[in-house]
Amino acid sequence: MTGTGDGMHRGQPVLTAGSPLDGAQAAMIMVHGRGASARDILLLAQEWRADGVAYLAPQAANSTWYPNRFIAPIATNEPWLSSALATLGDVLQTVADAGIAVDRTVLLGFSQGGCLALEFAARNPQRYGAIIGLSAGLIENGDKTRAYTGTLAGTPVFLGCSDVDFHIALERVERSAEIMAHLGGEVDKRIYRNMGHTVNRDEIEAVELILGRVNAQT
């Protein structure tokens, strides 16, 4: 599968795992971090005992969704950021075209990919299956909070991060949790002592539980 979004990331592959999309009950869009790959993030799917889930992982051009930090002025990350957001929108539409509703579709990302997934959901709020940001925060200017409008309509939002993550300041996670709650998300924020920039077992188990709930929806 190949992405058809605009700009820098156009034509990059979208890797898949799990159930075939045309026969799946739910879907998860998995977004890798800076310097990583779609193949890397798909390895996480092996940790979850979830039947009937299609996993889709778009690949960033040069393994980077945007060049600067997520707290840099947004203009300095353009046009890469807009292209990255368009890529996620394209994958989401592919899932919808296969007959899987948005409320059965989970957005998950780690690090830069988590920032992108959160930003996409905040800019395009609706009732998703869930939104999961692992070691991530919303993409904002360093000196100004973006104005987001609309509603997530009770979408479960999971934010997990270390208290000493050298890429993601704790205050950014706290503010992201506040903004997602303001947008109507049901936020589960978990801060882990001295974890660093990684994913732990508690987060993996939390995601598995979320997938089970999405799959159980009628």
Structural domains of the chain, ranges and CATH numbers in brackets:
7-216 (3.40.50.1820)
Residues recorded for the chain: 218
Residues of the chain with pLDDT under 70: 1-6, 141-146, 218
Which pLDDT does position 78 carry in this prediction?
92
Q: What mean pLDDT, rounded, does the chain reach? A: 91
In the block, which residue shows the tokens 């940001």?
133
- Find out whether the peptide bond into 79 is cis, omega within 30 degrees of 0: yes
Please tell me whether the overall predicted TM-score, pTM, comes out greater than 0.85 for this model.
yes
- Reading the block at residue 169, the tokens are 């300041």
Query: Rounded CA gap, 153 and 23, in Å?
Result: 27
Cβ-count burial of 190 within 10 angstroms (0-12 exposed, 13-18 middle, 19+ buried)? middle
Which pLDDT does position 68 carry in this prediction?
84
Which pLDDT does position 94 carry in this prediction?
96
Which pLDDT does position 188 carry in this prediction?
97
Which pLDDT does position 169 carry in this prediction?
86
Which pLDDT does position 144 carry in this prediction?
52
Which pLDDT does position 51 carry in this prediction?
87
Which pLDDT does position 2 carry in this prediction?
57
Query: Rounded CA gap, 151 and 122, in Å?
Result: 9
Kind plus residue range of the DSSP H or E element containing 37: none
Which pLDDT does position 111 carry in this prediction?
95
Angle at 137 between CA 92 and CA 61, to 5 degrees: 55
Which pLDDT does position 138 carry in this prediction?
93
